[in-house]
Structure 1
């Protein structure tokens, strides 16, 4: 499906009916990765309408010249959320760069974001990023360099997930647009009060892209946050530890229900 948000045509897919869960993917991919990772956790949960958009410049979502910074992308995502939800409150999930935008969306519109889940979040001021280390190796070297640097579990199963849900999106990335936006990738600080709705922060101990130390700092910013730092998982944690992620999201959803 497509919906016009100002000059941007946002492509998205959705599943189910009920309360909206908006799921934002990371940089350099499209909705297919988020859908593959999070849909197994939400499918079967009654009363959830799951929406997976392609972020601007990725997948089938355009990135017009007017989008020149992360702040511009944030405004587009906020308007998209208003359009697809009709202004009602929604649950918000983000992975990597998607989590960076999700955090800002919750700060900007706390009354609209009923709950927030941040998985391997990209954040300013990253520190203590570990060296990439493979913890499970298959028979011989498998996959391309991108796979081997993204995953810490190198098995045929993980390679199949990469080749099916991650690699195909590379050809659809508008590199010029991402470079243009990336020149101003840090969002303008929002000095809003602490976001007080149910929050989940999940980080991979072996994440050599964003690390886990900065994600741990978020606990002090969110009064109702649960934090999980997962061993044997890197930036591809949603692929590598799906059962644990499903359990953490189930607990998050239970807190959302209790908060209503």
Structure 2
């Protein structure tokens, strides 16, 4: 389905009913990767309406010439969130570049965002990014993109890549992403970072964004849990699905507690 957000019609798929959960994928893919990685965990929790959009310039969401920076994309995503949630409470999950936008959205919609999950987040000031190395497998299967993305290079991971990641390449608007990428750093928002229930998940072997910058977010998010996962890289949602499921379950339990009166975490308005 498509929802107009400003000048952009954002394509997305939905599952379930209840509290909206907006799940944002990373760069160069589309909603299918996020759906494959997060839906098994979220589907097990009743009362969640899971929303998986294609970000502008990827999948079936266009990126018109008016989108010329990350700030422009952020504005589109905020408009989209307002439209699909009716400006009521929702959860935010992001992977990679999707996590970069999710964090900024939470900071600008503090009263609406009931919880924030950042997985392998892209952040300004990346540091101590390790060299890519294979943790499991021969390193001799798949194409160059697979071998540079996954550190678990087994036939099972190759099958996931070929089904949920590779097909998106043909749909990427390369010119649009290059245009937006020239101004990829978001303008800092005013006020403190998001203070609601948060989970930060990083791959210790992540050669794309590393894990050190994610660890540094702990001081900014007073109700954040942090997991740095060995045996996982930037494709952590594929490579460590059971661990990710457990971390998300614990986070969702904290979200539920925070929405009750009398808790120490800030409760958010919502349905």
**How would you bin the TM-score normalised by the shorter chain?**
over 0.9
| Counterpart-to-counterpart distance in 2, 1:75 and 1:6 | 8
Residue 10 of structure 2: SS of its match in structure 1?
Answer: strand
Q: 1:1-260 counterparts in 2 under 5 A?
A: 1-138=1-138, 141-260=140-259
| Counterpart-to-counterpart distance in 2, 1:246 and 1:194 | 25
TM-score with structure 2 length normalisation? Answer: 0.95
Residue 136 of structure 1: SS of its match in structure 2?
Answer: coil
| Counterpart-to-counterpart distance in 2, 1:247 and 1:152 | 21
Runs of 5+ unmatched residues, structure 2: 260-271
| Counterpart-to-counterpart distance in 2, 1:120 and 1:44 | 23
Question: RMSD over aligned Cα, in angstroms?
Answer: 0.7
Residue 13 of structure 2: SS of its match in structure 1?
Answer: strand
Runs of 5+ unmatched residues, structure 1: none
Displacement, 1:170?
0.3
| Counterpart-to-counterpart distance in 2, 1:133 and 1:44 | 33
| Counterpart-to-counterpart distance in 2, 1:226 and 1:121 | 14
| Counterpart-to-counterpart distance in 2, 1:3 and 1:18 | 19
| Alignment length (residue pairs) | 259
| Counterpart-to-counterpart distance in 1, 2:183 and 2:193 | 25
Residue 237 of structure 2: SS of its match in structure 1?
Answer: helix
| Counterpart-to-counterpart distance in 2, 1:3 and 1:226 | 33
Displacement, 1:194?
3.2
Contact 1:30 1:59 in 2 (8 A): yes
Residue 26 of structure 1: SS of its match in structure 2?
Answer: coil
Deviations along 1:201-251, whole A, 9 cap, x unmatched?
A: 000000000000000000000000000000000000000000000000000
| Counterpart-to-counterpart distance in 1, 2:82 and 2:5 | 10
Contact 1:194 1:223 in 2 (8 A): no
| Counterpart-to-counterpart distance in 2, 1:28 and 1:49 | 25
Displacement, 1:44?
2.1
Runs of 4 or more off by more than 3 Å in structure 1? none
Deviations along 1:150-170, whole A, 9 cap, x unmatched?
A: 000110000000000000000
Deviations along 1:55-85, whole A, 9 cap, x unmatched?
A: 0000000100000000000000000000000
| Counterpart-to-counterpart distance in 1, 2:64 and 2:120 | 28
